[in-house]
């Protein structure tokens, strides 16, 4: 056995530890919470009380939930937990951006980022460990191991931020966490069920209480899920476009081979709830000499015709050995002016938290190294499950 590798040693230690079999109450929908508590004989109104303790007050210790009877609290502590993900690293940028590395019981890790601005504070939330999309300019896409996050792990990122920002109970105003963007690691529409459950919990106004207008989900273009996302969640949509021809987009955003530009834009045209007041954001990473010419800006304007759209230009954020460079400021300005003159707002996204690798596309956690036998076991399990 190779005990020199600390990650392997850690995995084995984790396997040896007796598992905590208590059920986590975080991440259950209201209905699931009622059903879960019914198993230990609790009535429906108990679920309502617990919901408020967990999501409005931020309580994690049943003992602190003083509106519950002593007996019920003791019973809960034996069978259930209100768990938070473990924080293994915390970083703070010179510009105030904060990044947390969260670790889950199976050893997998993701990052979330809080970006404070004058008039708002945005939390960038991850939906998967790693990502299957392999967009060529994105660091997360180089990460090998991928799994979906559970609703608890997604909501847990928001609760962790609220812990760290000291924002319990949920403040009615003057919040430091005002907005959520599903723009961290992963493709949220490839983990729709869990993201949807999590966002419904986040939007519940007796809990974390973030309105759908303050939540933006970003997708690289999983076309069949876009309509459902709009109809069921009603959150703002952002689309990672990044190229104006299928020829280029096939290469830099490979999901384009499955869902080409015309189909993607058609889904945007009919996105439920979009209007001139609620525009779809088109993200466009500025890659030097790749997609940043004035001709491409004009083609972008042509493509967006008829869609209530705004364009968010993202200067490429570098990462080690990335095969691209950031466009020059002059090229970005010319591009932005063309889009802007055509009537689309086209702000350039200021890179935030670059010194802590927290800017767009820089997130990547070290996948835990699994022993070969464990990898093979998991593959066999996945194959059996999909058979
Ligand atoms: N998978 C989703 C969610 C990720 S959002 C999606 O693709 O939309 C992260 C945003 O940052 C996306 O628009 C992504 O294309 C962009 N991005 C990725 N790598 C980047 C980089 N190195 N520099 C700037 N933006 C990047």
- What's the rounded mean pLDDT across residues 27-42? 96
183 Cβ below 6 A of ligand 1: yes
| Lowest model confidence (mean pLDDT) among 17-26, 178-187, 343-352 | 17-26
For residue 199, is pLDDT > 80? yes
Residue 150 φ/ψ region, left for φ over 0, alpha for ψ in the -120 to 50 degree band, beta for the rest: beta
Of residues 104, 167, 112, the one with CA closest to residue 368:
104
Residue nearest to atom 20 of ligand 1 (CA): 361
368 Cβ below 6 A of ligand 1: no
Can you tell me which atom of ligand 1 is nearest the CA of 351? 24
Catalytically annotated residue among 111, 153, 187, 296: 111
| Candidate from 115, 132, 137 with most ligand 1 atoms within 8 A of CB, to mutate | 137
Of residues 364, 298, 362, the one with CA closest to residue 137:
362
- Ligand 1 center from residue 377 Cα (angstroms): 32
pLDDT band at 383 (very low <50, low <70, confident <90, very high): low
CA distance 269 to 280: 9
Q: What is the pLDDT of residue 68?
A: 94
Per-residue pLDDT of 218-264, as tens digits, reads: 999 999 999 999 999 999 999 999 999 999 999 999 999 999 999 99
111 is catalytic: yes
- What's the rounded mean pLDDT across residues 115-141? 94
- What's the rounded mean pLDDT across residues 29-51? 96
Residue nearest to atom 1 of ligand 1 (CA): 187
CA distance 273 to 237: 10
Rounded alpha-carbon distances, angstroms, from residue 293 to 211, 261, 333, 347: 38, 19, 11, 17
For residue 2, is pLDDT > 50? no
Rounded alpha-carbon distances, angstroms, from residue 95 to 34, 99, 133, 318, 359: 43, 12, 30, 18, 12
Q: What is the pLDDT of residue 8?
A: 40
Residue nearest to atom 17 of ligand 1 (CA): 361
Cis check: omega of the bond before 169, within 30 degrees of 0: yes
| Lowest model confidence (mean pLDDT) among 50-59, 87-96, 136-145 | 136-145
- Ligand 1 center from residue 210 Cα (angstroms): 23
203 Cβ below 6 A of ligand 1: no
């Amino acid at each position: 056995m190779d005990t020199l590798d600390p990650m392997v040693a850690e995995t084995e230690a984790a396997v040896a530890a007796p598992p905590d079999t208590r059920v986590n109450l975080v991440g259950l929908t209201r209905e699931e919470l009622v059903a879960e508590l019914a198993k230990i004989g609790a009535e429906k109104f108990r679920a309502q009380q617990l919901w408020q303790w967990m999501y409005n007050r931020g309580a994690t210790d049943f003992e602190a939930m003083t509106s519950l009877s002593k007996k019920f609290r003791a019973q809960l502590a034996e069978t259930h937990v209100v768990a938070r993900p473990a924080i293994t690293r915390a970083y703070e940028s010179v510009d105030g951006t904060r990044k947390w590395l969260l670790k889950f019981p199976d050893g997998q890790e993701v990052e979330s980022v809080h970006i404070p601005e004058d008039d708002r504070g945005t939390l960038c939330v991850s939906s998967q460990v790693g990502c299957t999309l392999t967009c060529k300019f994105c660091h997360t896409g180089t990460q090998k191991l991928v799994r979906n996050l559970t609703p608890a792990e997604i909501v847990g990122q928001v609760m962790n931020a609220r812990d760290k920002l000291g924002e319990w109970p949920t403040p009615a105003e003057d919040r430091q966490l005002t907005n959520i963007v599903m723009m961290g690691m992963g493709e949220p529409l490839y983990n729709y069920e869990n993201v949807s459950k999590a966002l419904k919990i986040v939007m519940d106004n007796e809990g974390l209480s973030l309105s759908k207008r303050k939540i933006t989900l970003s997708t690289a273009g999983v076309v069949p899920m876009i309509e459902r996302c709009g109809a069921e969640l009603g959150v703002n949509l952002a689309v990672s476009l990044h190229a104006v021809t299928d020829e280029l987009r096939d290469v830099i955003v490979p999901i384009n081979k499955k869902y080409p530009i015309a189909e993607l834009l058609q889904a945007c045209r009919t996105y439920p709830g979009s209007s001139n007041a609620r525009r779809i954001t088109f993200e466009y990473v500025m890659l030097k000499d790749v997609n940043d010419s004035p001709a491409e800006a004009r083609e972008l304007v042509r493509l967006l015709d008829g869609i209530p759209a705004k364009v968010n230009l993202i200067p490429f954020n570098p990462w080690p050995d990335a095969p691209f460079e950031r466009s020059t400021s002059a090229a970005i300005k010319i591009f932005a002016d063309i889009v802007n003159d055509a009537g689309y707002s086209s702000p350039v996204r200021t890179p935030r938290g670059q010194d802590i690798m927290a800017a767009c596309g820089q997130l990547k956690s070290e996948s835990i190294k699994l022993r070969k036998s464990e990898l093979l076991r998991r593959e066999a399990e996945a194959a059996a499950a999909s058979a």
